[in-house]
Amino acid sequence: MSKLNRRDLFTLEDYARVRREFRNQVLAHKKNRKLELGPIATLYFEDRLTIQYQIQEMLRIERIFESEGIQDELDAYNPLIPDGSNWKATFMVEIPDIEERRRRLAELIGIEDRIWVQVGDQDRVYAIADEDLDRENAEKTSSVHFLRFELSPGMREAVKAGTAITMGLDHPNYSQTCAPVPQSLRDSLAQDLL
């Protein structure tokens, strides 16, 4: 999947005109790229369209229109676009109550390293988490992590051939499995692979 460049982005003026339609398109697309892992954990699989939307929104909110600022956003978000041999996801621990969230994040240190995918009956692939910076400390983990699932050539071929995908996490304080993932997600993820 190719990375985004300045030619792929709307100017702030053009984005203001198309934002509602573009947002609706992206939200419909994202429905097939989300997986809930139990009541508090969600994977949001990124691709070129979801990242373009994120960049456009950042440019709009921050009123960034200068070349250097636009390039900074591209440099920050392009690494979240799958490379053809992997899936990339934003993992979120979603607990509305602040005190409960604080308590649970302390119990879930290391959860980002315990998230896995499995293609058919092949070995599980555990996420490579937070390659840009560490998002946990000795007291708690973060509620947001960026993950990469690197797949072998055999796994990629199996996915493209229609093999079922299972995902889950096996942290000692929170364990969930989705077997198999919904067909719409499986089909969407297959498009990320070369």
Is pLDDT of 134 > 80? no
The pLDDT assigned to 120 comes to 97
pLDDT digits (tens, 9 = 90+) for 6-51: 999 999 999 999 999 999 999 999 999 999 999 999 999 999 999 9
**Inside any domain, residue 170:** yes
The pLDDT assigned to 1 comes to 74
**Inside any domain, residue 131:** yes
**Inside any domain, residue 112:** yes
**Inside any domain, residue 1:** no
**Inside any domain, residue 64:** yes
CA distances (Å), origin 45, targets 27, 93, 147, 189, 194: 13, 15, 9, 8, 16
In this prediction, residue 131 has a pLDDT band, given cuts at 50, 70 and 90, of: confident
- What CA–CA distance (Å, rounded) separates 46 from 33? 7
**Inside any domain, residue 46:** yes
| CA dihedral sign, ordered 101, 131, 52, 73 | positive
**Inside any domain, residue 163:** yes
**Inside any domain, residue 106:** yes
What is the number of structural domains in the chain? Answer: 1
| Structural domain span for residue 150 | 6-190
